[in-house]
Amino acid sequence: MNYLERRLAELQQYKPDRTTPDDLNEFWERTLREAKQRPLNDTREAVSGLSPYINYHRVVYEGYDRTPIHGWYLTPAFAGEGPYPCVVLYHGYTGSKGTPDSYSNWLLAGYAVMAIDIRGQGGETGNLLPQTHGMTRGWMNQGLLDPEQHYYRAIAIDALKALEWAARQPEVDASRIAVVGGSQGGGLSLIVSALSDLPARTIADIPNMCHMDYGISLSSGSLTEAADFVSRQPEHLETVLRTLSYFDMLNLCDRLKAPLLVSVGLKDPICMPETIFAVYNRIEAPKELIVYPYNGHFTSGDHFGKQVEFLRRT
C-alpha cells in the first residue's frame, strides 16, 4: 500500500464525534418557521446582456431579514420556452455572483441559473444584521456568541430563499433543481439541502461548514477569523464552539436526502480533507465523491463535465 492509498484508507474511516447541541432540531424548526413567514418582496427585471442566446434578469429579494439580496436569473433563450432544469449557485467566501455571462457553460448545457451574492461580501448585497459584540476581521464571526444572531444563520436562510424563489419561476421545472457551490458555496449547498426538500440534487465542491471544531484549530481559511476572536477573548471558547455547532454539517448530515456529489482536495489547507470526509462518511443519502489527490483548495480537469454528467445520470 503506497502513501496515497494509506491516506485515503484512513480518511475513509474517519468518523469523529459529533458536537450536536441538545436543541438543534428545535433551533432549526423555529428558524425555518420564522423564515417561512417572511415575504420575499422580490423583483425580477429583464436586462440586456452580451448574448442574444441568453435571457437576462436582475433579481432582488429579501431573505433572512430586510437586507436586499441581489442575484442573476438566466435562462437559455435558444432552448425553447422550458421548463428547464435549474441550478441555484452559491459563491465562495469573499466572492460575488459575478457577471451573468460567466454562467454560459450552464446555460449551454440547458440549465436555468439562479446565482446570488452572499450578504456583505464582494457583490452588491449589503448586510443589515445587528452587531451586538465586538468582532475581529471578516464576516463569519458576526454574532459569534449566539447562534440566534450568527452570520451563518442569516446566509443559510438567504440561500434557502434563493432556492424557493427559483422554484416559483414559470420557466423552471421545480422537480429538477440542483444546489451547487464551492467552498463557502459548497457548505451552503449542503445546509440548504439539509433544510429543504426542494433540491433534487446537491453538488458541494470542497465544502466549508464541515467538522468546524477541527477546522477552527487547523484551517487557514475563514475559520481563522473565529480563531482570532477566541485568541483575543479566550473566555468565550466554549460559547464560540457551541455557536458553530448549530451550522456544522457534521451535525446536520442525517437530514440530507437528495443524491449528492462532493469533491475534496487532499492538499487543501482551507477545507481540509478531514473536515469533508468527517461529514461525507456519515451521509446516508446516495452519494459520490471526487478526490483530487494533489489539489489544494480547487478542482481541476473537466470538473464541470463531471458535474453535468452527475446531474444527467442521477
Q: Which one of the listed residues 70, 91, 183, 222 is annotated catalytic?
A: 183
**Separation of alpha carbons 301 and 279, rounded Å:** 25
C-alpha cell, 111: 440549465
Is 263 a catalytic site residue?
no
Is 183 a catalytic site residue?
yes
Task: Provide the b/e sequence for 195-204 (b: ≥16 CB within 10 Å).
Answer: bbebbbbbbb
**Separation of alpha carbons 4 and 9, rounded Å:** 9
Residue 90's DSSP bridge partners are 116, 181
Residue partners of 23: CB distance under 8 A and separation at least 6: none
Is 14 marked within a binding site?
no
Cis bond leading into 234, ω under 30°? no
Closest CA to 156 of 131, 123, 181: 181
**Separation of alpha carbons 152 and 107, rounded Å:** 30
Exposure of 147 in the CB half-sphere (CA atoms within 13 A)? 19
Is 303 a catalytic site residue?
no
List the binding residues: 93
List the binding residues for substrate: 93
Q: Which residues are catalytic?
A: 183, 268, 297
